[in-house]
A and B are shown apart, each in its own frame.
Chain A
């Protein structure tokens, strides 16, 4: 039920006919509603926590990023020097590059897999969907630290993955996956795909069920095959769900800290270094607080821009 509620909430409030409209100060010249400044009484406590412990630290991070500071002695104002260093820092560039590769594993692959599977499943009603939904959703709830332990075992030299490869005659491919210079990043990426593909599938399957069957009937009357039906009906119908899946999984990929910290800690040889890990190291291991704050700021801006781009592109494609 709440799903529909939320869809409704996105639209502007319709004015209930006959509702008594009271206008007090602040209400004149605005859409009719219920201007009541008693609302501040309800907003202030929650807002105070948010401003003090989320918004202020965020701005404080930006402030720190303008200083050279080891966390102990006096800060020195350096203006944008930390940012110009960030531009030249090869490790940070690699970290963002790795994030870009992780986006393929966290966002692009799960969305494509999810869409393909949804297309394959569209035509038949699925009995026991609740069971599948429960199972597919499971990876979403598990703590990153736990996920890391589970996959360290799967990737271990004598773990299930290598044993499986031996079983099917690919014993030559076995390796300590997370310690391998070439394979460590894809191995982390695969963990991300595992975490997010279920979310995409459940989102898409639920979305397909909201597409009116009349659209499918019409497509079939027009003689559309499965492929055309997918591109003409299913894909446009899943517009919102695809957008949401992309935003969520992309943000996940960029923020990734727990899994990297607990599997490779950025190694081997920096091959799995990601921005949040590098920020942590600079702030709390190398005592380069100002520089770490600059990395955090860049990361926050990158996430904001990516989310905005995905939403903007999505908006435009909906209108056309």
Chain B
């Protein structure tokens, strides 16, 4: 064996080892979920047959039909609304100069670094009785949707601004000379090109919103019909792990599944979004 081949074999050995480490915890909980409580599994728990009964039981007992509905409503609304808003803000900061732009943009960027953990306390009290309006938003979808739109707009503004800045100015100028309004430039010239960037942003916002836990715990744990899937999993795990770990495992796999499916099809967007988004942060 030449040195080069040995080197190459070593490279793949290292990569395979770490790929295995990355995937093993996920596989191991899947293995556990494919058993029944009566199997009394321990250790590695390699499944000998495909038994989906734990999934069925977890779905009904953990009330995940509700959890998935809530999570889907919240994540879809946050994704759609924040995409529209971020296209607007990104367009303005990326292609125009206006009074105050140099003050407002850094303030929005602050929202990416600051931890939203520091916002939950006032959100809880303000949503239980909205100042002046006296709405009761606690334990409604709004309590989750509104703050997460706010956070997502911070990231989305930064992301779409970077995209719009990279489009050739001549394109915009040409459209304006042809008499297009600012809205026309955005809708007919820029937006068709921006679709991949919008998709990347949407995929990330959807994932973050689907996975969110602390806001759900604080703002909707009082209403069973508004609980999100991760919150439902947390409650279900607390209540039934001692009784039947296979069901908790199945529930965990179910909660992760929608994002894993999206990842399978749009992984390029995930990686690009997280790396490029990170690189400018």
Contact = CB atoms under 8 A, between A and B. Distances in A.
Interface of A: 2-3, 5-10, 13, 16, 19-20, 25-27, 30, 33-40, 42-43, 45-47, 49-58, 60-61, 64, 71, 117, 120-121, 123-124, 126, 131-154, 156, 158-160, 162-164, 194, 197-199, 201-203, 206, 240-241, 244-245, 247-248, 251, 254-255, 257-258, 261-262, 276, 279-280, 283-284, 289, 292-293, 296-297, 299-300, 303-304, 307
A16 B95 CA distance: 12
3 smallest CB-CB distances across A and B, nearest first, come from A163-B43, A53-B150, A46-B85
Given A61-B118, A303-B115, A160 B44 contact: yes
B163 A144 contact: no
Nearest to A201: B18
Interface string B158-177: 00011101101110010001
A117 B18 contact: yes
8 contacts: A6-B279, A43-B89, A132-B15, A141-B263, A145-B213, A146-B252, A194-B21, A299-B118
Contacts of B123: 53, 57
A278 to B, nearest CB: 11
Contact of A141 (B169, B251, B270): B270
A50 B19 contact: no
A46 B118 contact: no
B94 to A, nearest CB: 8
Given A3-B272, A46-B88, A19 B154 contact: no
B98 A50 contact: no
B255 to A, nearest CB: 5
A158 B201 CA distance: 42
B66 interface: no
Contacts of A149: 29, 233, 237, 248-249, 251-252
B22 interface: yes
B119 A57 contact: yes
Given A53-B149, A137-B270, A132 B256 contact: no
B26 A142 contact: yes
Contact of B122 (A42, A64, A132, A133): A64
B278 interface: yes
A140 B147 CA distance: 22
Interface of B: 4, 7-8, 10-11, 14-15, 18-19, 21-23, 25-26, 28-29, 32, 42-45, 82, 85-86, 88-89, 91-93, 95-99, 101, 104, 107-108, 110-111, 113-126, 146-147, 149-151, 153-154, 156-157, 161-163, 165-166, 168-170, 173, 177, 182, 186, 196-197, 200, 207, 210-211, 213-214, 217-218, 230-231, 233-234, 237, 241, 245, 248-249, 251-253, 255-256, 259-260, 263, 267, 270-272, 274-276, 278-281
A158 B45 CA distance: 10
Contact of B169 (A19, A117, A144, A148): A19
A42 B92 contact: yes
Given A134-B267, A141-B263, A280-B214, A251 B113 contact: yes
B174 to A, nearest CB: 10
A145 B29 CA distance: 13
Contact of A135 (B23, B161, B233, B241): B23
A296 B117 contact: yes
A50 B154 contact: yes
A127 B218 CA distance: 46
Given A19-B173, A54-B116, A194 B122 contact: no
Contact of A40 (B98, B170, B233): B98
Contacts of A9: 161-162, 165-166, 280
B211 A144 contact: yes
A255 B112 CA distance: 13
A194 B210 contact: no
Nearest to B279: A244
Contacts of A163: 42-44
A284 B124 CA distance: 10
A296 B241 CA distance: 31
Contact of A60 (B98, B108, B122, B214): B122
Nearest to B40: A158
Given A58-B118, A154-B28, A197-B18, A39 B169 contact: no
B19 A136 contact: yes
Given A117-B14, A262-B234, A57 B89 contact: no
A6 B201 CA distance: 14
Contacts of A5: 162-163, 165-166, 276
Contacts of A135: 19, 22-23
B255 A33 contact: no
B154 A10 contact: no
Given A61-B122, A163-B42, A299-B118, A49 B230 contact: no
A132 B45 CA distance: 25
Nearest to B252: A149
B278 A49 contact: no
B64 to A, nearest CB: 13
B119 A54 contact: yes
Contacts of B119: 53-54, 57-58, 60-61
Nearest to A206: B275
A150 to B, nearest CB: 4
B96 A153 contact: no
